[in-house]
Amino acid sequence: MSDKRPQVSFSNELGLRIMAESTTPAPISSSENALAVRRYLNELHDRITTAAERVETAKFRRDSWQRPEGGGGETRILCEGSVFERAGVSFSHVFGAKMPQSASNVRPEMADAPFEAMGLSLVFHPRNPYVPTTHCNVRFLVATPPNGPAHWWFGGGFDLTPYYPFDHDVLHWHRTARAACELFGPGVYGKYKEWCDRYFFLPHRNETRGVGGLFFDDFNENGFAHSFSFMRSVGDHFLPAYMPILERRMLEPWGERERNFQLYRRGRYVEFNLVCDRGTLFGLQSRGRTESILMSLPPLARWDYDWHPEPETPEARLYEQFLRPRDYLAEL
């Protein structure tokens, strides 16, 4: 007689058929819709890597990895380039027996549920202080509580962290973010722009991380096709939002003053990622690959005790005009 426990089947409108032991879930990636998400994320991975290498002399190192608890991914990392001091673009597809606490805290009904997550995440830390740091993430999650149907949702967004902001660049960034949302309703850009301002906020500093962009989560409106289309639109608008800014500013002359300010402000980036960011917590709590999770950190940063910019300087302008929520499209 076999001592294996009986298998339990769960299904939902995605057509997902999840056959799982009570201790180890099987992946949902054989479903048609989940495969479509994975194909899109892999294609976006290639597209963004190619665009970054087009302006660089260095190339990405490609690092495939497996997660013992289930799943894996590929991290592409570029270090010490002529344009990017560090650039990381990572795809992951992981699954496990228990939803991490950082996700289940906001979904108590999903606590202890088997889960599967796939996503693409990137952070670019340019060498030139006049080029902003940027981040983008798009993701898809499914949780299958033992006594209920599977639940799925999308999340993601992109945000911009300039050191020396240019009004033209900030306007371009937010106009492109608005364009990503236009086909999905008149209030969508405003809703997810405001959510981005709330999310990328350092409460211990009382300042935003940068000038924002878009952030959305728990998105499953109007069925799978609509939700997937919105996630793709956000992903597809990242390069048109960022690359023109990069190409305009990458040859700006800079010196020690600008470099020191860039390193100081990078310290805020480190603080947010290690203290506030749910994505970092999700990766660590799900026992993801630590090197890939922490690729978002800059290679160098600095902290100066009780430092404040001199009045009427470009550094002061960042603090006075940009490190708070603003309606940039109306005010600039």
Distance separating alpha carbons of residues 183 and 58, to the nearest angstrom: 37
Phi and psi angles of residue 271, each rounded to the nearest 5 degrees, phi first: -60, -45
Q: Is 125 a catalytic residue?
A: no
Catalytic residue among 135, 151, 174, 237: 135
Strands (E) across 6-148 are located at 8-11, 17-20, 61-66, 71-79, 84-96, 115-126, 133-143
256-260: which pairs have CB atoms within 8 A and are 24 or more residues apart?
258/129, 258/130, 258/163, 258/164, 259/129, 260/302
Show Cβ contacts of residue 46 under 8 Å, excluding neighbours closer than 6 positions: none
- Please identify which residue in the block is written with the tokens 């190619």: 50
DSSP state for residue 153 in the 8-state scheme: E
Contacts of 208 (CB under 8 A, 6+ apart): 197, 200, 201, 202, 322, 323, 324, 325
Active-site annotation, residues: 135
